[in-house]
Amino acid sequence: MFDYLANPSRFMRTANRLLLPLVVVSSICAAIGLYLGLFVSPADYQQGDTVRIIYIHVPAAWLALFGYVGLGLCGLFYIVWRHPIADIAARAIAPVGTVFAFLTLVTGALWGKPMWGAWWVWDARLTSMLILFFFYLGFLALSNGFDQAERGSRPAALLALVGMINVPIVKFSVDWWNTLHQPASLIRRGGPAIDSSMLMPLVLMLIAAHTYFAIIVILRMRALLAERRAAALMLRPNSKPFRVLT
């Protein structure tokens, strides 16, 4: 399977076939999830309507972690097997994951102010998420810090692998240390600790966020592959105009 997708043309043909179904699923889930979350689900008995930020904050946090896991796996494939798509995928994932990590920090601050009385506390979960955001920024700086893009691929991949150490720290920080951040409420022993009236829109928003993430990454990969193909053709003598297949 990996050998089959290592060919850029085959990979993009497969990815392009997934685009329309992903757009449909993401749009439907986002529309229903936002409607249920903002207008149908009840206010929390302690947090009131402030709890509704969960429908943005939790999917953003999941995608920040999910994106960095993907970044680390791409780094592994690039360093060990020199997978030709791995570097492209990592460069496509990194800015998207960075945005979700930033969104997690911002929505967390908006949620924390009325609940904790402060925009920021040096809580284990918040601090480890901030470190993850800095790892994303470091990857972007390394991968784009050279005149030739390929020169930054290996150091950026190594940083992505190092940053994987922080992923389980972010996930389990609320279990390992005494923190202000609430413990896990979805994936936990005994099942979710969220009422079904809030769980359904949250699950729909998680599906919408994951499919949206996939859509943006595919579109970015398509653009990056086209840029590299154009650059390669420009270096050839007597190169002719070409058409990018989509």
pLDDT at 187: 65
The answer to whether residue 31 is domain-embedded is yes
Cα 81 from Cα 138, distance rounded (Å) = 23
CA distance 145 to 139: 10
The parent domain of residue 36 ranges over 15-228
| CATH number of residue 72's parent domain | 1.20.120
Structure tokens at 228: 């590299």
CA-wise closest residue to 97 among 37, 163, 50:
163
pLDDT band at 237 (very low <50, low <70, confident <90, very high): low
In a domain, 67, yes or no: yes
* Residue 190 identity (one-letter amino acid): G
pLDDT at 244 over 80: no
- Is residue 244 included in any domain, yes or no? no
For the stretch 17-74, pLDDT in tens is 999 999 999 999 999 999 999 999 988 777 888 889 999 999 999 999 999 999 999 9
Establish if 5 belongs to a structural domain: no
Which pLDDT does position 179 carry in this prediction? 74
Mean pLDDT of 112-116: 84
CA atoms in the 13 A half-sphere facing the CB of 240 = 2
Considering the domain boundaries, does residue 219 fall inside one?
Answer: yes
32-36, 45-49, 193-197, 239-243 — which one is most confidently predicted on average?
A: 32-36
> Can you spell out the DSSP letters for 99-112?
HHHHHHHHHHHHHH
pLDDT, residue 188, reads: 62
Cβ(59)–Cβ(208) below 8 Å: yes
Number of separate domains in the chain: 1
Predicted confidence at residue 117, as pLDDT, reads: 84
More confident of the two residues 15 and 182: 15
pLDDT digits (tens, 9 = 90+) for 115-147: 888 888 888 889 999 999 999 999 999 998 887
Segment 168-195 shows an average pLDDT of 74
Let me know if residue 136 belongs to a domain.
yes
Per-residue model confidence (pLDDT) at position 68: 97
| Run of H or E residues at 207 | helix 196-235
pLDDT value of position 1:
54
pLDDT band for position 191 (cuts 50, 70, 90): low
165 in a structural domain: yes
Query: Is 10 contained in some domain?
Result: no
pLDDT value at residue 151: 85
pLDDT, position 83: 80
**Among 233, 205, 222, CA closest to 60:** 205
